[in-house]
Amino acid sequence: MQFDTVLDTASQLLAAIDPQQQHSDLLSHLQRTQAIRIAPTRGPANEPDLVCVDGGVAHEQTDALTWIAAVGVSSDLRSSVPATMVMPVSSETDRARSMLMALCELAAALDTADRSHVVWMDGSLATPLISIATGLLTSDPTTAELVCATLADCNTDTLIGDYVHYGLQGRLRALPKQDTASGYCKLWAAQLGEGSGAWLNMQRDRIAATSVLQSGEYLRPRRADEALRVTAKATADAPKPVREWAHVIDELLGHWREELPVFVTYVLPRGMPLRAVKIEYTLSADVDDADIDDVADSVAADLCAKVSETIIGTRVIEPFPQHQADTFAKREVTSLITQLMGAASRTFSETHPAGIRHYRT
């Protein structure tokens, strides 16, 4: 058979993920320590609707230039933030793409939070911050100038400052799709010690959570320290404006790293018990340390119930507003890049054809 070798390798890798005895030991431990909770069947009436924000980005590379279009869109279509950018063809396109989309996402998220009090991000809470910080890793003078101009045009310092502020008010939630987090597994490994603990040190949280949870159950929340590890740095040879932006952004991120109470849980939603949904969320910085674990657990229960309410069946495997935001973002960015390239073609087809000429049909 054509794929025998790769299928055999996959079988070995999968066997290492879920040995029966270790799985049984873990489940018994979690039940004994009451680390598995039962979510309410319905969320509280005072919990705002789940409105999700996602971003979309597209680019067209021509002989001379790379044209970039990005959008940030809410699942209720009441927030839509477009942005465009052009830069020389270079190896830094991916970083610029991600940065531009993150700026649109933040703007749409803040607008949604202003309207709905809270906002749900499609992806980790820290992802847009990481994307903006990564966009600063440029040493090419032309690209650096364009990056700094984009940051200024988008009022990036205000966007990040407000995003951090809303986080400190407990108004940010997130639904990471793919993740490599292992914080739960590391915690459980330390509790279990040798044997099952050694196995857990090699596992990932989502797979482990899916294997131990039953429909309607969620994990007792833990601190999401991994969401706080965000810094903004410039390369040693970066132009001065880039280094200045890195300093400004990292000062704002200092509040994120040092002051933000952020937690994470996994829930196996009722109506879709196939894959655990990860939820990140912030609490108000005013919550007393003595009460914070109880408050985090109470909020997690409400959010898990709210997520379960948005599951519509096996055809859409994520919370429906998350699916909507992703669909709307793809649709809008496709339209935006088409309009951008149309404008570029009309402007440069005769005077600078290299700016719109493609290699492929």
Neighbours of 191 (CB within 10 A): 15
- Taking residues 22-46, what's their average pLDDT? 88
What is the model's pLDDT at position 302? 95
Q: Give the β-pairing of 172-175 and 119-122.
A: parallel
Residues 6+ apart with CB under 8 A from 34: 220
Q: Is residue 26 part of a domain?
A: no
Residue 19: per-residue pLDDT: 64
Residue 93 in any domain: the answer is yes
Q: How confident is the model at residue 1 (pLDDT cuts 50, 70, 90)?
A: low
| pLDDT for position 17 | 60
Q: Which of 38-47, 50-59, 184-193 has the lowest mean pLDDT?
A: 38-47
Residue 171 lies in a domain: yes
Backbone dihedral angles phi then psi of residue 39, each to the nearest 5 degrees: -80, 150
The total number of structural domains in the chain stands at: 1
Going along 89-166, which residue ranges are E strands? Answer: 119-122
What is the average pLDDT across 135-143? 91
pLDDT digits (tens, 9 = 90+) for 77-121: 999 999 999 999 989 999 999 999 999 999 999 999 999 999 999
In angstroms, rounded to a whole number, what is the distance separating the alpha carbons of residues 5 and 1? 9
Burial of 206 from C-beta contacts in 10 A (0-12 / 13-18 / 19+):
buried
Residue 336 lies in a domain: yes
Whether residue 156 is predicted with pLDDT greater than 70 in this model: the reply is yes
For residue 108, the enclosing domain spans: 42-355
DSSP annotation string for 254-303? HHHHHH--EEEEEE--TT-TTSPEEEEEE-BTTS-TTTHHHHHHHHHHHH
| pTM assigned to the model | 0.92
Distance between CA atoms of 101 and 107, rounded to whole angstroms?
Answer: 10
Classify residue 178 as exposed, middle or buried by CB count within 10 Å of its CB (0-12, 13-18, 19+). exposed
Evaluate whether residue 30 is within a structural domain. no
Residue 109 lies in a domain: yes
Asked if residue 185 belongs to a domain, the reply is yes
Contact yes or no for 90/140 (Cβ under 8 A): yes
Q: Does 74 map to a domain?
A: yes
